[in-house]
Amino acid sequence: MPTVETQTSESVIQITTKTPPTHLEDRLQTGTTGTARLHVAAIEHELRMSIAGEVRFGDGDRGMYASDAGNYRMIPIGVVLPKSAEDVAHTVRVARRYGAPVFARGGGTGIPGQTVNVAVLLDFSKYMNRIEEINAEERYAWVEPGIILDELRHAGQSFLLSDFLKKEVKGYTPPQLHRKAVIHGHCHHKSLLHFESEVELLKKAGLDCEALDSGCCGMAGSFGYEEDHYETGLACGERVLLPKVRGAAANELIVADGFSCREMIRQGTDRRAMHLAQVPQMAMQEGPNGPAGAMPEARYTKLERTSAAPVGLVAGGLVAAAGIWWGMRGR
């Protein structure tokens, strides 16, 4: 197990190693100490040329990864952030060819020091952190090594509406609504959260769906509200989403679950987008033909605003608060 690094040149280091015990039943056996000389620059160069993930061998990155959630501090030889199992396998092959030890970090929450060492660190937390499958009936989950346990627990107990109706409500049949609809999925929905399940549900409800290949709406949380990003955000929206919404027939539905996406549509067009949950609501209340006329979403997407408090009530509260403060000050 490496513990100390010695710099012998700009590209070569020498580390102390310890070979694990060969007789595990002998609890007093501590392994064999040795040394290894590593050509770090060559390792870094080969990894940069051959994997899709990030390769970080700079002093700042190595220092950042020298500790985890525990009290131990050991500076790694370098850091690799793999994007796939192929990246991991290739990193191990390169490290083995140069004689470099390898260790891994998942969510970075280790306390006993198992995720710090003088070795090439594989950090799975940035890219390889997906939940591939949760099978509640057979009680197993397929996950990538960068997942954090709390995220897995949360994922097993929370659902998007479309996934919940599909997986948890046996035999669910959505109420019918027969008209065209333009569907836009927000970025996380399309990249991680099974956007296709929502489109499938809407089609089962009788909608003639056009799922847009629209990318980001451009609002992206607070991004599109910020002055420096306004033109960029608007250009994103104008690429596909906003022209498609403006070109939709007046009696078509516009469906978008993302709050930012609905806000971009509200500000950039004369239409209002509905959330998925409002579509079956419309079908149940209006029947399969839906509301007549243009802008069918009008009564379902009104912006509700909190009513302002009377001026006298606010002024009275301020006077009372000032009186209490003055009385306590005089004690």
Cα 301 from Cα 271, distance rounded (Å):
10
- Residue 114: the pLDDT is 80
Cα 208 from Cα 16, distance rounded (Å):
66
- Residue 42: the pLDDT is 94
- Level-2 CATH architecture, domain 5-23+30-123: 2-Layer Sandwich (3.30)
Q: Which residues contact 269 (CB under 8 A, 6 or more apart)?
A: 242, 245, 246
Cα 76 from Cα 62, distance rounded (Å):
6
54 burial via Cβ count (<10 Å: 0-12, 13-18, 19+): middle
16 SS3 class = strand
43, 95 Cβ separation under 8 angstroms: yes
Hey, CA dihedral for 254, 256, 261, 266, is it positive or negative? positive
Beta bridge partners of 181: 209, 253
- Starting at the earlier edge strand, list the strands of the sheet with 32-39: 5-7, 12-19, 32-39
Give the H/E segment covering residue 13.
strand 12-19
- Residue 157: the pLDDT is 73
Q: Which residue has the tokens 């419309």?
A: 282
- Residue 306: the pLDDT is 46
Cα 78 from Cα 64, distance rounded (Å):
11
Cα 255 from Cα 283, distance rounded (Å):
14
- Residue 6: the pLDDT is 59
DSSP state of 74: -
70, 110 Cβ separation under 8 angstroms: yes
Tokens of 110: 């280790």
141 SS3 class = strand
Q: Which residue has the tokens 């290949």?
A: 213
62 burial via Cβ count (<10 Å: 0-12, 13-18, 19+): middle
Cα 151 from Cα 107, distance rounded (Å):
10
Domain parsing of the chain, residue ranges: 5-23+30-123, 128-158, 166-300
Number of other residues whose CB lies within 10 A of the CB of residue 225: 14
In angstroms, what CA-CA distances link 78 with 14, 18, 41, 183, 254? Answer: 14, 19, 10, 45, 49
320, 326 Cβ separation under 8 angstroms: no
- Starting at the earlier edge strand, list the strands of the sheet with 78-81: 54-56, 78-81, 120-123, 102-105
- Residue 190: the pLDDT is 80
Cα 153 from Cα 39, distance rounded (Å):
42
Half-sphere exposure at residue 62, Cβ-oriented, CA atoms within 13 angstroms: 15
Cα 65 from Cα 110, distance rounded (Å):
12
Each residue's pLDDT, cut to its tens digit, for the chain (331 residues) gives: 455 555 555 678 888 777 776 665 655 666 678 788 889 999 999 999 999 999 999 999 999 999 887 778 889 999 999 999 999 999 999 999 999 999 999 877 776 778 888 999 999 999 999 888 888 778 788 999 998 877 887 777 777 888 888 878 888 999 999 999 999 998 878 876 778 889 999 999 999 999 999 888 998 877 888 888 889 999 999 999 999 999 999 999 999 998 889 999 999 999 999 999 999 999 999 999 999 999 999 889 876 554 554 555 555 555 565 555 555 555 5
